[in-house]
Amino acid sequence: MQKKEKNILWLSEVVNKDVLLVGGKNASMGEMYQKLTKKGITIPNAFAVTARAYRTFIEHAGIKEKMEEALQGLDTHDMDNLSTRGRAVRNLILESDFPKKLEVEIIKAYDVLSKEYKKRSVDVAVRSSATAEDLPDASFAGQQETYLNITGQYQLLQSVKKCMASLFTNRAISYRVDKGFDHFSVELSVLIQKMVRSDVGASGVLFTIDTESGFENAIVINAGYGLGENIVKGVINPDTYYVFKPTLCDGYRAKARKNKFDYRPILSKSIGTKELRMVYSPEGTSPTKNEKVPKDEQEKCSLTDDEILQLSYWACLIEKHYKRPMDIEWAKDGKEDALYIVQARPETVHTQTEEGMLTEYSLSKKGSVLVSGESIGSKIGQGRVRVIEDVSKIHTFKEGEVLVTEITDPDWEPIMKIAAAIVTNSGGRTSHAAIVSRELGTPCIVGTGNATSILKNGQEITVSCAEGMEGMVFAGMLPYKETKIDLKKIPKTKTDIMMNVGTPDKAFDFAMLPHDGVGLARIEHILINSVKVHPNALIYYSGIQEESVKNEIDEITKGFKNKEEFFVEKLAEGVAMIAAAFYPEDVIVRLTDLKTNEYSTMVGGKDFEPHEENPMLGWRGASRYYSDEYKKAFELECKAIKKVRDGMGLYNLKVMVPFCRTPEEGKKVIDLLAQNGLKRKRVGTRKGAKDLDIYVMCEIPSNVVLAKEFAKIFDGFSIGSNDLTQLTLGLDRDSSLVSHLFDERNEAVKSLIAEVIKTAHACKRKIGICGQGPSDFPDFAAFLVEAGIDSMSLTPDTVIKTRIAVAKKEGELRKK
């Protein structure tokens, strides 16, 4: 019998091209089961009740004409109309009987599956799969139902019928109308798959592309305890992990190393609240229930590092097989302590974006922040608030309003597509609200925690996802700009145009701009916003006298047994996100350049920082690193950078020493870096890919006067025009009384810059600039081109306009 004539097909019988037989989801499962299990990916076995079986059922019941009649006069914009007609069609299916032959075939296949897993009645997941599903431009994700922990013949048959009826849920009907599909050209297949016991383990979803920026080198994993429905439906705020694909795969040694990784490029781990987990229900009407997760478990990662890496490697294999970014569901069996892949479909948002075009959104002014959460996408939306806490009230929603609710599921989709923006209390970046918002191109903020209680009906708000990973809801209808950029028209330049980046959660977005790497990766933002605690307060924690300070440190570092390891981990994560975003281009990280007044504002900082009358000229940069008071803290900084390079394989990361007053100071720092595993390559030796370049900031007149001596110690220079201007003109740039004299274009400053560029080139050293001057002043950028600067590192918002100005100046010089 040919496949198309069968009512039951096993995963071993179907491949990706069998969408019309078993639906997109089931065809993909069969494809992976046959092609990828041999590569080590574990997939629970399953059989599909085919689309032919669905047709046979509808024909045997004789209800097709009645179904068509029920849908006549359908208006998907009228919620009552949609609900009434959808319910009528579903009831026609649910009240009909299966043909006896089909019942017997389903039961027989279930018995075979039970025997395979050595059970009398194996527990299964019953999943819907439509024949127009998982297309590259239409996911149909979540349109139909899934039933978990189904056991026994009666439960199984009822669940299969419910899945078939779910082809006509309100959201599925509405979605087909939007996508232009005829209701009766789409059919349903049902997958009966052995349950993975994630109820006593963990589960989640992952994408092989960053879902916000479209950055292709990152894997994003969302994870939580229990069965996966809570994450898919956005009920919980899950853990989020980012993994860098290129070095993960480069460092994988399957045969020789028994599935070990040379590099462990987990770029970041964010622990979600994970308040609930869905588990098996031993009694009651439902086969599953939610239970509270103990506080100590909430504060831990739900996956180990090894599990994160294993899932990520499998994701790379799946993406490579399908040759496109993928959206994958996974589960960890807590009884077996084993990982499984349970679904995979094409990612449907960024694969549809226009190549070479970039749209930037930015607020023209900001107002008071009402609530914040995780931003989905990078757009801005605004309108009047409509708080809806129950799906039965969605008929009150008006087009152009901002939907504010606890969570969404597919039943909310008819109004989500007419919302100006969406804000939810719960959910993460792979929750239902996030996935649908991306597909619709609607600004969305998830996981705010309290939006439904803070925001009021009729209130005018602006929802901004343009601020980075943290999305903000502002009071009022704020003005904003939308700028379209055709990247294909941006000219190339001889001068490297790099970027100044200090915010890791914007790095993936910034990397979409035309660039030659990062000339200044600032550590300071990471310390203030992610680490938050003064490093010495972590090292000498036991000696802190104030109990309130210790309590604050305990709260910040929860989940870490070792407080010094917290510092290393968080700093490494921030630096790694930037290095990965711009890989393989150079990323030059400047060692810490906080001043004493800035360090003292960190938690516990007042106990470890002296008071200085002028911190700009005091204990900062190189002099801090080798001092007895700070040396141990600097060693932690070195450990973090070493972890990014040697632990994650991000050897594009280089190091830069700020505020180095003398060559002797430079030698001390070079030696200290080497003692901590950051050894500069020997002068005159052949350079390797893993060699470390160490640069120095040129921001003190002594750096210019003694440039030849500094060139013997360092691999290159980066001009810090702010400090160089300050110290050349004798200004305190923090003083408003003399700020009118501050100008990088002053002839004295330009003379020093021209001189140091000439000296650097004579010594065969690279020299760039990372100060604010060329970002602010096109004429200053033109001067730098004339002086022969090798690179300019600019603020991201000025990269394109400055590149155009530099290209113009280079063209003029070529004509002379």
Residue 66 has pLDDT above 60, yes or no: yes
User: What count of other Cβ atoms lies within 10 Å of the Cβ of residue 409?
Assistant: 18
Confidence label for 776 from pLDDT (cuts 50, 70 and 90): confident
Q: Which helix (H) or strand (E) holds 360?
A: strand 357-363
Widest CA span in the chain: 94
What is the C-alpha to C-alpha distance for residues 344 and 330, in angstroms, rounded to an integer?
Answer: 9
- Say whether 800 sits in a helix, a strand or coil: helix
**Residues 784, 753: contact at Cβ < 8 Å?**
yes
Rounded Cα gap, residues 226 and 222, in angstroms: 13
- pLDDT tens track for 204-235: 999 999 988 889 999 999 999 999 888 887 78
Q: How many CA atoms lie within 13 A of 623 on its CB side?
A: 12
Residue reference for tokens 């040396």: 631
Task: Please check whether residue 738 is in contact with residue 731, taking contact to mean a CB–CB distance below 8 angstroms.
Answer: yes
Q: What is the mean pLDDT of residues 633-647?
A: 97
Is residue 570 over pLDDT 50? yes
Residue 88 is predicted with a pLDDT of 93
Average pLDDT, the chain: 90
What would the pLDDT profile of 2-24 be if each residue is shown by its tens digit? 898 999 999 999 999 999 999 98
pLDDT, tens digit, 9 for 90 and up, residues 400-436: 999 999 988 767 877 888 999 999 998 877 677 887 8
Q: Kindly write down the DSSP assignment for every residue of 52-67, as one continuous string.
A: HHHHHHHHHHT-HHHH
φ, ψ for residue 499, nearest 5 deg: -130, 150
Coil, helix or strand at residue 500: strand
**According to the model, what pLDDT value does residue 497 have?**
95
Q: How confident is the model over 246-276, as pLDDT tens digits?
A: 999 886 765 544 567 889 999 999 999 999 9
* Model confidence, pTM: 0.85
Span between the terminal Cα atoms of the chain, in Å: 79
| Pure H helices in 117-233 | 153-165, 170-179, 229-232
Convert the pLDDT of each residue in 475-488 to its tens digit: 999 999 888 777 78
Query: What separation in angstroms does the CA of 155 have from each of 87, 110, 124, 152, 166?
Result: 22, 12, 10, 6, 16
Could you give the C-alpha distances from 558 to 340, 413, 551, 553, in angstroms and in order?
Answer: 30, 38, 10, 8
Q: Hey, which residues are catalytic here?
A: 432, 770
- Please identify which residue in the block is written with the tokens 């933002």: 525
User: For residue 350, is pLDDT > 60?
Assistant: no
**For the purposes of burial, counting CB atoms within 10 Å of the CB of 686, is it exposed (0-12), middle (13-18) or buried (19 or more)?**
exposed
Query: What is the rounded CA–CA span in Å between residue 438 and residue 350?
Result: 9
More confident residue, 192 or 140: 192
**Inter-axis angle of helices 563-581 and 631-642, to 10 degrees?**
50
The whole-angstrom separation of Cα 357 and Cα 487 is 6
Q: Which residues contact 381 (CB under 8 A, 6 or more apart)?
A: 402, 420, 421, 442, 443, 462, 463
Question: What is the rounded distance in angstroms from the CA atom of residue 80 to the CA atom of residue 58?
Answer: 26
Question: Is it the case that residue 809 has pLDDT exceeding 60?
Answer: yes
